[in-house]
Structure 1
Amino acid sequence: MIEVKEETLESTLRKVIQGLQPSKSRLVSFTKRVDKVDPLQFFEAGYHLHMNRSYWKSTIDNFTLVGIGNAFSIREENPYLLKDKWNALLNQAVINNPYQLSGTGIVSIGGMDFDPLKSKTRLWQNFSSNELRVPQFMLMVNEERAYLTVTVNVTSNDDPVAISEELTKNEEYLFKDNKLVSNNPTIVEKEEVEPENWKKTVRKATEHISSGQAKKVVLARELRLKFTEEVQVSGVLRQLLESQPTSYIFAYEQGKDCFVGATPERLVKVERNELLSTCLAGTAPRGTNEAEDNELGHKLLHDVKNRKEHEFVVQMIKQSLEEFCKEINVPEHPVLYKLRNLQHLYTPVRGVFKEEQSIFDVVQKLHPTPALGGEPREEALTFIREQELLDRGWYGAPIGWIDSNQHGEFAVAIRSALLQGDKASLFAGCGVVKDSDPEAEFEETRIKFLPMLNVLGG
């Protein structure tokens, strides 16, 4: 990694291009402070530039990333190679970033398949199995300030003046006061995908568990929607921000497809040497009034099935993090984590990160947690791979970001939908144990569809 200071983007580009050998390329990034802008307006402007967009917001931290365009993508069938490719990219990059804050410098955003061994279907054909995208324009907005990183991949044949002029023109457009598209398409078709077969699969899972082949299996299903017109991603994000104030809001666009959601479940966050993971398993609805809400929460805290499910996740995450941390702190008991539609059992796991460790190593170790796969992991994954009706794609898998300062955060992509023009596929899952009732599990998934279904007009 080459650090550059006190230069303009054009002068940096000129030096880099002049020093490149033929057929070689190098990533160049330039970070600067900018006036605060509405991240959704910035996101919307990218639509009119016909560039792929990405969005990430940690609402609790008031931290937002908006990516426009694609300076470079790392695509790998094998998720274990992402770390090496990312480090190699940074080692050759030229970075002008005097701030060293999270979300500045070269920043990549992306996601992964839930199960790389599961056969792909047409549903996810526009998404790579594992991808990290370095946007051409990355806006970072935190509670205090806003920063813009411009990144471009150059070769020895490029014209630094022409590149600089084109980037400047697009940047000016992105910061215009663009109005958000406000459309409210009506749902004209709603299809529960093979509900009876799904319930039969739940029964198979309970038999599988009763025979001692697993302790828990998480099964997911799909709800398909068709609308009167194309769904605008900006409008969906705006409604998610309003309705899910304690979730991670994300969107990742690939051409006409966009994977979008509001997940409450952090997988791992690394900032400096501090690591934070989240155990979120066990679910109940919210009450219609305070008394009912408290009663539902009390039942959840004392429900044997949900506490057992939660403890699976806590122990797995704790054991998985021990090799990466000098010390680990885990509370003895879970608390309630309340969202607008749902409440969950919640236990944070904190640790001091060892030197030379990478967030990629932690992601690979933790995914999938028992909350999304099951326990034991391999036995549960084998059952899901062979019996589940759904191609999960990026659903239930890590989605997040990492920067050149070695800060990053990944969440678990649940409470989500794949938007495809005037169609959408929603995803939800539940943990099956030996005494699970198929009808009750079906109802739990119905509740978990609500956060996305409500913002889509359902």
Structure 2
Amino acid sequence: MIEIEEKRLASLIDITISEMVSEDEAKLFSYTKKINKLNIYTFLELAGDRDLTRSFWSSNSNDLTILGAGQATTIQAKGERFQSIENQWNELLRKAVIHNPFEKQGTGIVGLGGFAFDPKKESTPLWSNFPDGQLTIPEIMVTRIENQFYLTFNMYLRTDDHGFQLMEEYQEMESYLLEESSFFKKDVNMIEKKEVAPKQWMQTIQKATEEMKTSSTNKIVLAREVRLRFDERADIPSIIRKLIETQSNSYIFAYEIDGDCFVGATPERLVKVEGNQLFSTCLAGTAPRGKTTKEDQKIAEELYRDPKNRKEHDYVVQMIRKAVERYCTDVDIPSEPQVYMYKTLQHLYTPVTAKLMNSHSIFSIIEELHPTPALGGTPRKESMAFIRDNELLDRGWYGAPIGWLDSNNNGEFAVAIRSAMIQGTEASLFAGCGIVADSDPVSEYEETNIKLMPMLSVLGG
């Protein structure tokens, strides 16, 4: 059976090559098949051993996991980044040859990646490998959905390629990555933790509160950085494993570019699209979990009634409502939030559902929503200007849209919080909070410590 499939696949490749009319022409060829269950961590570990670029995504309900190894191609933003990426994505799909009889979410051609928080902010060496926007189409991709596993391989074909030769190369890589070997967890040992300019960060909060008292700005989100150093190179599959084990109800992601890896566990969906159905989430207002059920409930009630957190949440709700109504019909947003409990934190949460108009795409919504008031502030223009001029770090992809989309009009992007940039034996962790006119710098500092806990806990802190 396997040999028959290999011959058929080689024949499909040769047919695609024969239909090319020019020596300069190249086509992206994509083929999806069903495979047996595999160990996702072993796959990532073996891909790393071969120095293949790795991508990872797991949904907040853990019903969809996407693993990528290698790069068939990448799409990088030019100029107007969201429009640029969308145009290149559509052109890539228009020319591609796709063999995918399953048409499940996350199969076929899938682009995984994200965007920078603010392309107008001067970039630093920390984020030098991460452009303003990039989607990676993996060479080999595994999708787990509905407890079934699918393998997709993507390759660019040219007129001088030969089907059986390409098949041999692909089969060697497939058999290596799907090898049934044991996964050896390699937990990191942190040997140094350094907070980057905490006093200056609190002084920036004071400056923000003074500005808000004399301007139309209602809220400014300010983030800070913590640097870690380990006794050896951090192992990305082990970090992903610990995030999955400890951060339930979160999106787990990892995007590797030229050896650097942006990884995290975020609770915050930006937008999800299934065909023309749209889903978004208003998530703002944070409190810790309690030690007992009774204490949990008490903190949740205080969070629900707290004027500052309710105001912060309402900013997000109103902004998302305005954005979604511009591109959608049948918009449904509850009038009151609920408290949603995660492993270490609880948040005010309001779900959003709508129907996407035919003339718009997931990129239209991303561009309209980013940055939400939960990551930028309100009004957007004024708060972003303050962040750009006063914040002490280059956020890079932190706080920005990260996710995936496929060739079947499905996709999902989350907001990259609770995250870290891993660079060999070092890491930068990020956390921020919403500053309003009566914010207390010390209290906001303590809130960022709570938000840093998820990543610190898996990195030995």
Q: TM class by shorter-chain length?
A: over 0.9
| Counterpart code for 2:28 | L
Quick one: distance in 1 between partners of 2:213 and 2:123?
A: 30
Quick one: distance in 2 between partners of 1:237 and 1:9?
A: 33
The answer for the alignment partner of 2:70 in structure 1 is 69
Which stretch shows the higher mean deviation, 126-135 or 57-66? Answer: 57-66
Quick one: distance in 2 between partners of 1:89 and 1:137?
A: 17
Alignment of structure 1 residues 288-367 onto 2, 5 Å: 288-367=291-370
- TM-score w.r.t. the length of structure 2 is 0.96
The answer for the alignment partner of 1:119 in structure 2 is 122
Matched, 1:375 2:370: no
| Aligned sequence identity (%) | 48
The answer for the alignment partner of 1:57 in structure 2 is 58
The answer for the alignment partner of 1:387 in structure 2 is 390
The total of aligned residue pairs comes to 454
The answer for the alignment partner of 2:12 in structure 1 is 12
The answer for the alignment partner of 1:26 in structure 2 is 27
Quick one: distance in 2 between partners of 1:132 and 1:116?
A: 16
Q: Rate the CA distance shift 1:347–1:320 in 2: closer, same or farther, 3 A.
A: same
1:229-252 Cα distance to aligned partner (Å, 9 max, x none): 111001101100010111000000
The answer for the alignment partner of 2:198 in structure 1 is 195
The answer for the alignment partner of 2:415 in structure 1 is 412
Q: Rate the CA distance shift 1:19–1:433 in 2: closer, same or farther, 3 A.
A: same
Which stretch shows the higher mean deviation, 13-22 or 282-291? Answer: 13-22
Judge conservation of contact 1:218–1:430 (CA < 8 Å) in 2.
yes
1:224-271 Cα distance to aligned partner (Å, 9 max, x none): 000111110011011000101110000001132110000000000001
Quick one: distance in 1 between partners of 2:138 and 2:181?
A: 20
Judge conservation of contact 1:278–1:348 (CA < 8 Å) in 2.
yes
Quick one: distance in 2 between partners of 1:295 and 1:121?
A: 43
SS of the residue aligned with 1:8? helix
Quick one: distance in 1 between partners of 2:278 and 2:364?
A: 12
Matched, 1:455 2:455: no
Quick one: distance in 2 between partners of 1:184 and 1:268?
A: 33
Judge conservation of contact 2:420–2:428 (CA < 8 Å) in 1.
yes
Aligned partner (choices 258, 261, 265) of residue 262 of structure 1: 265
The answer for the alignment partner of 2:139 in structure 1 is 136
TM-superposed deviation, 1:344: 0.3
SS of the residue aligned with 1:372? coil
SS of the residue aligned with 2:449? helix
TM-superposed deviation, 1:343: 0.5
Quick one: distance in 2 between partners of 1:368 and 1:6?
A: 46
Which stretch shows the higher mean deviation, 189-198 or 136-145? Answer: 136-145
Quick one: distance in 2 between partners of 1:239 and 1:362?
A: 32
Quick one: distance in 2 between partners of 1:19 and 1:116?
A: 41
SS of the residue aligned with 2:326? coil
| Counterpart code for 1:9 | L
1:111-155 Cα distance to aligned partner (Å, 9 max, x none): 100001110000001112200010011111013311111100122
Q: Rate the CA distance shift 1:7–1:351 in 2: closer, same or farther, 3 A.
A: farther
Which stretch shows the higher mean deviation, 156-165 or 259-268? Answer: 156-165
The answer for the alignment partner of 1:207 in structure 2 is 210
Matched, 1:444 2:447: yes
TM-superposed deviation, 1:6: 12
Q: Rate the CA distance shift 1:180–1:61 in 2: closer, same or farther, 3 A.
A: closer
Aligned partner (choices 230, 234, 240) of residue 233 of structure 2: 230
The answer for the alignment partner of 1:242 in structure 2 is 245
The answer for the alignment partner of 1:35 in structure 2 is 36
TM-superposed deviation, 1:183: 1.8
TM-superposed deviation, 1:48: 1.8
1:392-433 Cα distance to aligned partner (Å, 9 max, x none): 000000000000001000000000000001100000000000
Judge conservation of contact 2:6–2:167 (CA < 8 Å) in 1.
no
Quick one: distance in 2 between partners of 1:179 and 1:314?
A: 46
Which stretch shows the higher mean deviation, 237-246 or 11-20? Answer: 11-20
TM-superposed deviation, 1:333: 0.7
Backbone CA RMSD of aligned residues? 1.4
SS of the residue aligned with 1:111? strand
Runs of 4+ in 1 over 3 A off after TM superposition: none
Quick one: distance in 2 between partners of 1:135 and 1:390?
A: 31
Quick one: distance in 1 between partners of 2:267 and 2:294?
A: 24
TM-superposed deviation, 1:61: 4.6
TM-superposed deviation, 1:59: 3.8
| Counterpart code for 1:253 | E
Judge conservation of contact 2:340–2:348 (CA < 8 Å) in 1.
yes
TM-superposed deviation, 1:39: 1.9
Aligned partner (choices 97, 106, 110) of residue 107 of structure 1: 110
